[in-house]
Amino acid sequence: MSDAKQILYRVRRYDPARDGAPRWQDFTIPRTPGMTVLDGLWTIKQTLDATLAWRASCRMGVCGSCGMLVNGRPRLACNTQVSELGADVVALAPLPNFDIIRDLVPDLAPAFDAHQALMPFIVREDVQERENPTGEFGQSAEELEHYLQFSYCIKCGCCMAACPTYATDPSYSGPMPLAQAHRYNADTRDEGFRNRKETLAGERGPWRCHFAGECSRVCPKGVDPAKAIQLMKRELVLDYLRLRRAHASAPVAPKPKDGKRRPDVPDAPARTV
Amino acid sequence: MRDQKLWTWHVLAGLVILVFLGLHMTVMHLDKIFEAETLNPSDGKPIDWANVVARGKTLFFPATYVVLLAAALFHGLYGLRGILLELGPAAGIQRAISVLFVLVGAGLFVFGTWAAIMSHGLAKAL
């Protein structure tokens, strides 16, 4: 990597309403210490081309909006410093495996549809407690460990862009929705395994995964979706063989008896729904 | 349910192949290490005619041929079907591939089972 004061951004541009095919456009911008890929995009937009489109929000690797292909690898633009790329050119393209809305903006709707179909939330059979909760569901630290790392997923879509199976098989749900389905199946507060199984046991389930492991390699949050998918396969196989041991549903934790509310802590606001 | 069931059988068939292929390797290639007379009762190499006939006379070996045949056919054809379906053919072609593979698998299984039974009968007659 050179110590040049400037850096070349090579950005793939595409406007479906106007362009017949995507094209590359070069921008040369000042290089500053600690500069992230996202910083460079803002510089381009503010000084060179205001029409350049991408998604971003939090700028700190939390929201998952700025996933894009940076020098051939899916990354978060805000979480990637130009210096760590070790190159004099920053090549940016939208995440593969998705339609392009414009420039660096992919259409993530199919991924979120698959995500939604797998019920990524706590499902409880005791409707009364669910609708009118009387307390928190108890969960030990050991039980938390079973799904904690999968709960770090920010739904940026990098794993979906890296998955070779998702690239070729539109019926495959992909690593993000499947890892999240496992995250809830492994949660002792959840009772939704049977409901999710309706989707998971069919062709949208984990069966097409070849364990290439690219999803885990590119995840900017260190989540291991490939592991979640293998664990899910094991659960489903054991379920078919009637050998699966379902976790006991977490009960409502008893409220502390001797606790005293601090006077400076205000009451919770009234329920709005 | 369908893919969960098929994939489970795919895994189980793989285990069966592992065990029975291990048995095959033991009988055919490790005869010097495991000098078991039940596997190769006649002197000489495992592939010698006398040994083949001797194994064919038992019920055990023809039965393992049939089980291994079923497992290998299901495991192989299901895996090949998965590869073909990932090429993204139209729904009609996907159905045609599935039906074709079921017919081919069933046909080969019937033929292989018939051959195993016939070889058993032939060996007993000798």
Q: What is the 3-state secondary structure (H, E, C) of A14-44?
A: CCCCCCCCCEEEEEEEECCCCCEHHHHHHHH
Reply yes or no on whether the pLDDT at A3 is more than 80. no
Query: Which residue on chain A is closest to B4 by alpha carbon?
Result: A201
Residue count of chain A: 273
CA-to-CA distance for A229 and A236, rounded, in angstroms?
10
Domains, chain B, in order of start with CATH, read 2-125 (1.20.1300.10)
Q: How far is B11 from chain A (nearest CA, A)?
A: 9
- Comparing C-alpha atoms, which of B34, B1, B16 is closest to residue B75? B16
Q: How far is B60 from chain A (nearest CA, A)?
A: 27
What is the arithmetic mean of pLDDT over A178-187?
A: 97
| B117-126 confidence digits (pLDDT tens) | 999 999 999 8
| B28-46 confidence digits (pLDDT tens) | 888 777 776 667 777 778 8
B7, B87, B88 ranked by CB distance to A207: nearest: B7
CA-to-CA distance for A49 and A11, rounded, in angstroms?
12
What is the arithmetic mean of pLDDT over B69-85?
A: 95
Q: CB-based contact (8 Å) between B90 and chain A? A: no
> So what's the ipTM on this one?
0.80
Residues A73/A22, Cβ–Cβ less than 8 Å: no
Q: What is residue A134's predicted lDDT score, i.e. its pLDDT?
A: 87
CA-to-CA distance for A173 and A93, rounded, in angstroms?
23
Which amino acid would we find at residue A201? A
What is the arithmetic mean of pLDDT over A66-80?
A: 98
Joined tokens for residue A252: 């409502």
CA atoms within 13 A on the CB side of B124: 10
Residues A114/A99, Cβ–Cβ less than 8 Å: no
Contact residues on chain A for B4, CB-CB shorter than 8 A: 197, 200-202, 205, 207, 236-237, 239-240
Residue found under tokens 């996202």: A38
Please check whether residue A229 lies inside any domain of the structure. yes
Q: To probe the interface with B, which of A165, A195, A208, A209 has the most B CB atoms within 10 Å?
A: A208
Q: What is residue B37's predicted lDDT score, i.e. its pLDDT?
A: 67
Which of residues A71, A89, A106 is at a domain's end? A106
Same domain for A32 and A81, yes or no, is yes
Residue B84: pLDDT band by 50, 70, 90 thresholds? very high
| Distance from the Cα of residue B117 to its chain's centroid | 14
Same domain for A60 and A72, yes or no, is yes
Say if the Cβ atoms of B3 and A207 lie within 8 Å: yes
* CATH classification at residue A14: 3.10.20.30
Q: Which residue has the higher pLDDT, B80 or A254?
A: B80
| A7-66 confidence digits (pLDDT tens) | 999 999 999 999 999 999 999 999 999 999 999 999 999 999 999 999 999 999 999 999
Residue A262: pLDDT band by 50, 70, 90 thresholds? confident
Please check whether residue A260 lies inside any domain of the structure. no
Query: Residue A13 is part of which domain span?
Result: 6-106
Please check whether residue A146 lies inside any domain of the structure. yes
Residues A126/A251, Cβ–Cβ less than 8 Å: no
CA-to-CA distance for B4 and B10, rounded, in angstroms?
10
Distances (CA, A) of A131 to A43, A123, A126, A196: 48, 11, 9, 21
**DSSP run (H or E) holding A105:** strand A105-106
Percent of chain B with pLDDT over 70: 97
Same domain for A113 and A182, yes or no, is yes
Reply yes or no on whether the pLDDT at A273 is more than 80. no
Please check whether residue A134 lies inside any domain of the structure. yes
- Phi and psi dihedrals of A137, rounded to 5? -80, 130
* CATH classification at residue A221: 1.10.1060.10
